[in-house]
Amino acid sequence: MADPRCPICNKPATPANRPFCGKRCADVDLGRWLTGQYVIPGPPEALDEDPPASPDEG
């Protein structure tokens, strides 16, 4: 089996930071999650049968 590679920069992963090569790449990955660049799809939200009236229908 090949040595694991960092998913951010493709350098060899280190045991202390696996699957990343270091703290910097781990922080880059975390930043991508926090800013919404990575998304795990989920089931669509249930729609209400009677949606709320829009402000201009008042």
Residues 6+ away with beta carbon under 8 Å from 3 = 12, 13
Give the confidence band of 1 by pLDDT, cuts at 50, 70, 90.
Answer: low
Side-chain-side CA neighbours of 23 within 13 Å: the count stands at: 0
- Report the SS3 class of residue 12: strand
pLDDT, residue 42, reads: 86
CA distances from 4 to 19, 29, 33, 53 (A): 7, 16, 21, 54
pLDDT, residue 48, reads: 62
Q: Where are the domains of the chain?
A: 1-36
Considering only residues 20 and 50, tell me which one the structure prediction assigns the higher pLDDT. Answer: 20
Does the pLDDT at position 58 exceed 60? no
25-57 residue pLDDT tens: 999 999 999 999 998 888 887 766 766 677 776
Cβ neighbours of 6 (radius 10 Å): 21
